[in-house]
């Protein structure tokens, strides 16, 4: 009994346990950092896909309003040399949805969460759900990452009325 009690109070091997615990914590922390970095890159990719789609949507000009002279002065130019071209909101949304439906973020599809179109400006929020790059054991972390991106565009044309 005395030998058991003495072996409990001995400090042999405690440094090994400490090193193994710190190694496991560092490993989990590294996996977490990799997963966060992957989500950040996925958001950038989603934004790039959205930029392409919103640019296509911003080219849907309302020709009837354009030729009738229904253009808004761009307030960012103090000399008044640029005007905003009116957009056909219904056509712009169709262009945007078509472009988004053809695009994929890695292996998952992209969906439109919201859409806003006002005369000469379009804005959308798109969403994609991707699996994590590294799945941690014991249920640590998420099963999927939902990535959101808000994008917008304004049509501007140079020249005077």
* Confidence band for 52, pLDDT divided at 50, 70 and 90: very high
Q: Pick the closest to residue 140 from 44, 27, 8, 56 (CA basis).
A: 27
- For the beta carbon of residue 80, count every other beta carbon within 10 angstroms: 11
Residue 148 has pLDDT above 90, yes or no: yes
Q: Which pTM was predicted?
A: 0.73
* Confidence band for 158, pLDDT divided at 50, 70 and 90: low
Residue 49 has pLDDT above 60, yes or no: yes
Q: For residue 121, what is the enclosing H or E element?
A: strand 121-130
Q: What is the DSSP letter of 120?
A: T
* Confidence band for 79, pLDDT divided at 50, 70 and 90: low
Instruction: Report how far apart, in Å, the C-alpha atoms of 116 and of each of 29, 104, 112, 128, 161 are.
Output: 40, 22, 11, 19, 27
Q: What is the DSSP letter of 141?
A: S
Domain spans, the chain:
2-158
pLDDT of the residue at 161: 45
Q: For residue 109, what is the enclosing H or E element?
A: strand 108-118
Helix (H, G, I), strand (E, B) or coil at 106: coil
Question: How far apart (Å, rounded) are the C-alpha atoms in residues 60 and 49?
Answer: 18
Q: What is the DSSP letter of 86?
A: P
Instruction: Report how far apart, in Å, the C-alpha atoms of 86 and of each of 58, 141, 154 are.
Output: 10, 46, 10
Q: For residue 51, what is the enclosing H or E element?
A: helix 14-57
């Amino acid at each position: 009994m005395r030998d058991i009690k003495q072996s409990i109070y001995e400090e042999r091997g405690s440094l090994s346990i400490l090193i193994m615990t710190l190694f496991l914590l560092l490993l989990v922390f590294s996996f977490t950092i990799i997963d966060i970095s992957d989500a950040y890159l996925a958001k950038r990719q989603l934004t790039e896909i959205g930029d392409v789609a919103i640019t296509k949507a911003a080219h849907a000009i309302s020709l009837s309003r354009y030729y009738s002279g229904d253009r808004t002065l761009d307030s960012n130019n103090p000399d008044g040399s640029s005007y905003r071209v009116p957009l056909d909101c219904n056509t712009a949304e169709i262009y945007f949805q078509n472009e988004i439906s053809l695009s994929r973020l890695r292996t998952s599809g992209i969906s439109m969460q919201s859409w806003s179109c006002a005369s000469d400006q379009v804005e959308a929020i798109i969403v994609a759900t991707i699996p994590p790059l590294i799945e941690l054991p014991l249920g640590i972390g998420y099963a999927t990452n939902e990535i959101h991106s808000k994008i917008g565009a304004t049509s501007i044309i140079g020249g005077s009325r």
